[in-house]
Chains A and B, each alone.
Chain A
Amino acid sequence: MEIDLNRRKVLTNLGYRSDGIQRQAQGSVSWKQGLTELRCSVFGPGPCRNKSRMRREEVYLNIVVNQLPFATRDRKRNENTKRDRQQKSISRYLESVFRKCVVTELYSKSQIDIYIDILLNDGSAMAACMNAASVALATASIPMRYVPTTVTVGYCDSDYVLDLNADEETKNVCRLTITTKNGTDNIVAVDMQKKCETNVFDQMCKFASKESSQIHTILSATMLHYAETCIGLESRF
């Protein structure tokens, strides 16, 4: 996992620059997790455009997950990729976590927009979207109580596997997407596909909590990289 800083094209048709940063957004990140590649932009707390969704005590989070037509092997048509069931489940999962994570009482009557474009989907898209959105919110300087660290774990052939790809997800494998606080064993959200036994579920949760500290190390390094880049901008020459 790394921030892709080696792209040659200056500006893509989505408005991103070659280092993955969208200049108009308050925070943006380009994220690769294995072969899964996505872009995330955060448009900071601004006036609420939809007055019926405005809340008086907390901020309104508008999360849009868009999978591009060339993201999977089978091409999907463009008009359905935002309202697909898979993309809606990812945005609902992100909203359930960030509603508790973001310090929302600081921005009453405001709106925070998070736009995620999945460029290449090779499995574990929900975990990649969550990790990218965490880094993008940190670059947008939106206060968060913790860093939500997400990891995907599966149970296959009497063994536990981590960070499944697209081939492993198509099999009849029970898989679990778990979000923890700062990579500790404090679980804040669980998303589960297929069935498994109870003790297998407990072991999967323990396994995911143990492995999420590695994800948090990478997320911390990415945020520190951003912060020290801002500090050292004047000493770049």
Chain B
Amino acid sequence: MNNTFSLGDYAKTNIREGIRQRSDDLIVVIPGQKLNLDNDDIRGSGIIDVNGTSVSTVCGVLTKVNKLIKVNPYGGVYNGEVGDVVVGRVVEVQQRRWKLDISSRQEALLNFTNFQLPGIKNQRRNLNDELALQSLLVRGDLISGEIHSIYQDGTILLQTRSSKYGKLGKGILVKVPFYLVTRSKTHLFKHEKGVSFVFGCNGNIWVYPYDPKNSDLAIGWSSDPHNNVPRDLMLDTIRFANCVKILATYHLDINDWTVSKAYEFSQGYDLKDISLPPVIHNVAVKVLDEMKKNGMFNK
């Protein structure tokens, strides 16, 4: 190639100009990049030691908190933490437990002893109870629970030791990237429109109509085909599920406040038009303005 062409200039101009606003004061690293760390710094996740030199292993932002230095990547798979609320799907029924898919790097386990039946007080499980519990949850059912413990190889043990968790009935499952669901104290949210949410930390968000009169073993409406959800309640549920998809499409934070705001701004559109790109853009821009007004980007 000729001498006037410089590959470094090509690399610089390849990065889009509009992105540089928020990232001017951030240190972005790529895998294999040498980091000049101090001797007393502690290496966190995303950094390994190669021949005495600290090298980053993932693509992300270099973050320093006191002595701890780590690289925060974007994306990846969900790593469970103890106490997280997750929504998983049953993939296998074994002798004494169920195997759940919660989009992590190992499958989650839910023992029969950790599963609490709603309305029944705690008692010991014998062989007849084990046979009955095997048919209670079949392959493909959805369960909400919280993480009890994490084994050494990444296997996650779930528990449903409260009446708030358990088998999920009629509703809509929305899958979003897990890093959009911010970890907070309330992951079970009930809107005044009669629609409830389970914001799973693994990115599975369960939107379901709430009516305690007809619930037997499931949370919300039972999955019995004879139970009919009222039409207005189901339409509101579908609208809320589309609002969650709108927030996920534009990578906005998903919590009870942003979903309520998106629902308010989507009231001016028909339900059949709510998935069109101009409608998605308008609702997302309004939610973003509300988030900026409430100071959600000042951290």
| A interface list, Cβ under 8 A from B | 2, 26-27, 44-47, 103, 107-110, 138-147, 181-182, 214, 217-218, 220-237
Contacts and interface: CB of A to CB of B under 8 A. Distances in A.
B35 interface: no
8 contacts: A26-B77, A138-B31, A144-B57, A217-B10, A223-B30, A224-B30, A233-B250, A235-B19
Interface in B87-138: 104-107
A46 B91 CA distance: 14
Please name the 7 residue pairs, one residue from A and one from B, whose CB atoms are nearest each other, closest first.
Answer: A143-B57, A141-B76, A232-B19, A141-B73, A221-B11, A146-B32, A45-B105
A146 B57 CA distance: 7
Contact of B75 (A140, A147, A236): A140
B154 A237 contact: no
A182 B55 CA distance: 12
B59 A236 contact: no
Interface residues of B, number: 45
Contacts of B20: 228, 232
Interface of B: 7-8, 10-12, 14-16, 18-23, 26, 28, 30-32, 46, 48, 50, 55, 57-61, 73-77, 104-107, 153-154, 250-252, 285, 288, 297
A141 B60 contact: yes
A233 B251 contact: yes
B19 A234 contact: no
A20 B297 CA distance: 30
Nearest to A107: B105
Given A138-B58, A138-B59, A145-B48, 11 more contacts: A46-B104, A103-B57, A108-B154, A140-B76, A141-B60, A141-B75, A142-B58, A229-B19, A231-B28, A232-B22, A235-B21
Nearest to A149: B32
Nearest to B19: A232
Contact of B32 (A147, A225, A229, A235): A147
Contacts of B12: 221
Contacts of A235: 18-19, 21-22
A224 B252 CA distance: 22
B59 A227 contact: yes
A228 B19 contact: yes
Nearest to B297: A234
Given A45-B105, A140-B76, A232-B23, A227 B30 contact: yes
A141 B74 contact: yes
A218 to B, nearest CB: 7
Nearest to B32: A146
A144 B32 contact: yes
A140 B8 CA distance: 25
Contacts of B50: 145
Contacts of B58: 138, 141-144
A139 B73 CA distance: 9
A223 B29 CA distance: 9
B75 A234 contact: no
A56 to B, nearest CB: 8
A132 to B, nearest CB: 15
B14 A143 contact: no
A228 B28 contact: yes
Given A44-B77, A143-B58, A231 B106 contact: no
A222 to B, nearest CB: 8
A142 B45 CA distance: 12
A229 B31 contact: no
B76 A225 contact: no
A181 B51 CA distance: 14
Contacts of B105: 44-47, 107, 110
Contacts of A144: 31-32, 57-58
